[in-house]
Amino acid sequence: MMITAADLLSVWESGADAGNAQRAVLLHAVARPEAPDLLDAPVGARDAELFALRRSLFGARIPVLLSCPECGERLEFDFDTRAVPPPEPSPVEPITLTVDSWTVVVRVPTSGDLLVAARSASPRAVLLERCVPEARRDGEPVPVAALPAEVVARVAEAAGCADPGADVRLDVRCPECGRMVRAGLDITLCLWTELDAWARATLLEVSLLAASYGWDEADILAMSSARRRCYLELAGHA
């Protein structure tokens, strides 16, 4: 399905005042317009599709700027999104985790889980509650809130191993001091920032062309970006 400029502006407008979790859902709907169960998608599968959407909209390489925590050196490089593996074709199965006397069943977070957690006053607690459907100590059921910190840490580790695409990490060696610098790449935040910049630039083009030629927004957006730029040059706005 071809994504039009009008479609992207509509998504941008819908998410202008939204949080990161809601924006992820909006962007995923652009990547998978016919999928009925986007909220059930594991975060890793969703993010892999957001990386693919980013490639189709803005190209494969994402510019990244980091600072070395050791010496302060600025590290600038391009991350090739083609390095992100494609989404898994089937749902990730729940995991049974045993830690000493504790046994917990863990499933990986989905878009829906993150959305519900983001709307709560205690996102981490809500996410844990949703992603641990069963917890026992010495065989007896216990509330998830009673899990000790070391078990919660193992739960997070197990979920991360089961869905590695949910946490894309960049490892870069500082050329100045040699330290290995690690940082996460939030594709939702990155893609939304780029969409926001594109939307504002596109609306400026629409405003200038409408003022110069009297055309309405729909007609201007139906043009290719190359044609819009050409008309802007002819109107003296380049």
Tens-digit pLDDT profile for residues 184-194: 999 999 999 99
Handedness of CA 134, 135, 140, 142 (dihedral sign): negative
pLDDT value, residue 37 = 87
Pairing of strands 169-173, 140-141: unpaired
Taking only the tens place, the pLDDT of each residue in 27-83 is 999 999 888 889 999 999 999 999 999 999 999 999 999 999 999 999 999 999 998
Q: What is the mean pLDDT of the chain?
A: 93
pLDDT value, residue 4 = 93
CA angle 99, 91, 11 (to 5 degrees): 115
pLDDT value, residue 238 = 72
Q: Where do the structural domains in the chain lie, given as residue ranges? A: 5-88+169-233, 95-162
pLDDT value, residue 1 = 61
Q: pLDDT tier at 156 (50, 70, 90 boundaries)?
A: very high
Assess contact for 220 and 228: CB atoms under 8 A.
yes
**Helix orientation angle between 225-234 and 187-213, rounded to the nearest 10 degrees:** 40
> Residue 152 pLDDT more than 70?
yes
Q: How many CB atoms lie within 10 A of CB 176?
A: 13
Once rounded to an integer, what is the mean pLDDT over residues 108-121?
96
> Residue 9 pLDDT more than 90?
yes
DSSP 77: E
Burial category of 56 from C-beta neighbours within 10 Å (exposed 0-12, middle 13-18, buried 19 and up): exposed
**Integer Cα distance of 80 and 60 in angstroms:** 6
Contacts for 231-238: CB closer than 8 Å, 24+ residues apart = 232/205, 232/208, 235/208, 235/209, 237/208, 237/212
> Residue 85 pLDDT more than 90?
no
**Integer Cα distance of 106 and 108 in angstroms:** 7
Among 131, 139, 184, CA closest to 162: 131
Beta bridge partners of 104: 97, 135
> Residue 158 pLDDT more than 70?
yes
Determine what percent of the chain is predicted with pLDDT higher than 70.
98
pLDDT value, residue 90 = 61
> Residue 115 pLDDT more than 80?
yes
Assess contact for 71 and 179: CB atoms under 8 A.
yes
pLDDT value, residue 139 = 95
Q: How many CB atoms lie within 10 A of CB 94?
A: 15
pLDDT value, residue 86 = 79
CA angle 36, 40, 42 (to 5 degrees): 125
Taking only the tens place, the pLDDT of each residue in 173-228 is 999 999 999 999 999 999 999 999 999 999 999 999 999 999 999 999 999 999 99
pTM strictly above 0.95? no
